[in-house]
Amino acid sequence: MKIVVTVKLVPDTNADKRIDPGTMRLVRTGVDTVLNPFDEYAIEAALQLRDKLADGSTVTIFSMTPESGREVVRKALAMGADDAVMLSDPGLAGSDLWATAYAIAHGIKTRGFDLVLTGTQSTDAISGDLPGLLAEYLGVPALTYARELTIAGGRLRVKRETETGYQTVSAPLPALASVTKSANEPRYPSLKGIMGAKKKDIAMLALADLGLTKAVGTDGSRTEVLALATPPPRERGRTVTVSDGAEGARAVLEFLKSRKLL
């Protein structure tokens, strides 16, 4: 079985992030980039499924990224994936959510798959919309927010998180699932894994390989950024030091009443 995991490069949380006012795009040069932390759960889930199946199944990392993302793709390989595909083309620059999903889906289709795993969101865009878009363009069922995944009898079965509990949901393969943080504890790449990753194959895909019928990149995108503004910063509020519980509780209560919150 061919398991494909989509991964994204994101700026490090502690990095100083800014948007270029000219292009209205996130400045990605000179900023530390890391593997989107949410994607690590999808990679770990894929590795566990592969190892459990133990039938020659493979895990392929798929990333739409400029060449500068190669090291992050290597990190995903170092965790234990078998190979990787980088969809990299100057024509993809400026792609919005729609264009990104459309291009990635066609890239994955070009390479073939039985199961696509994604994270639930990225830490920079935080839209959570990619899994749904991908599933539609791939033409497969979407089992989102999976915290437990099993494969049996040609079906994918997941425990799917809901706001108040979970559902057990299944669908025939091929399928897509997004994997939540509760699914597993992602492994750290071992030294052997890091060394081995250097020898693993990273195939390159360009726009021309995808056979797209719709334009992507800045021109083809379905949204455009009109303006960027900095919201007023939160002001430092009041600090009250209290000596016991009753005094602390009263301080909060009075404050809430003054704000008409009680």
Residue 240 contacts other proteins per CB under 8 A:
yes
CA 10 vs CA 36, 48, 83, 118, 170: distances in Å: 5, 24, 21, 15, 31
Residue 192 contacts other proteins per CB under 8 A:
no
Size of the site for other proteins (CB under 8 A): 90
CB of residue 107 vs other proteins: minimum separation in angstroms? 15
Shorter beta-carbon distance to other proteins: residue 54 or 152: 152
The per-residue b/e assignment along 150-162, b for 16 or more CB within 10 angstroms, e otherwise, is: ebeeeebbbbbbe
Q: Which of 22, 54, 153, 164 binds other proteins (CB under 8 A)?
A: 164
Look up tokens 């393969």; give the residue: 173
Phi, psi of 228 (to 5 degrees): -125, 135
**153: which 2 tokens?**
């009898």
Q: Which of 18, 71, 93, 192 binds other proteins (CB under 8 A)?
A: 18
Q: Name the E strands within 16-134.
A: 19-20, 25-26, 33-35, 58-64, 83-87, 115-119
CB of residue 196 vs other proteins: minimum separation in angstroms? 28
Residue 238 contacts other proteins per CB under 8 A:
yes
Shorter beta-carbon distance to other proteins: residue 81 or 133: 133
Question: Using CB under 8 A, which residues numbered 97 to 156 contact other proteins?
Answer: 97-98, 101-102, 123-133, 135-137, 141-145
Side-chain-side CA neighbours of 202 within 13 Å: the count stands at 22
Residue 93 contacts other proteins per CB under 8 A:
no
Listed in sequence order, the residues at least 6 apart from 13 whose beta carbon sits closer than 8 Å to its beta carbon are 123
Residue 241 contacts other proteins per CB under 8 A:
yes
The string of DSSP letters for 71-85 reads: HHHHHHHHTT-SEEE
Shorter beta-carbon distance to other proteins: residue 56 or 231: 231
Please report, as a single letter, which amino acid is at residue 255: F
DSSP 9: E
Residue 54 contacts other proteins per CB under 8 A:
no
Residue 211 contacts other proteins per CB under 8 A:
no
Listed in sequence order, the residues at least 6 apart from 231 whose beta carbon sits closer than 8 Å to its beta carbon are none
Stretch that binds other proteins, among 54-62, 74-82, 189-197, 246-254 (CB under 8 A): 246-254
CB of residue 105 vs other proteins: minimum separation in angstroms? 8
Residue 186 contacts other proteins per CB under 8 A:
no
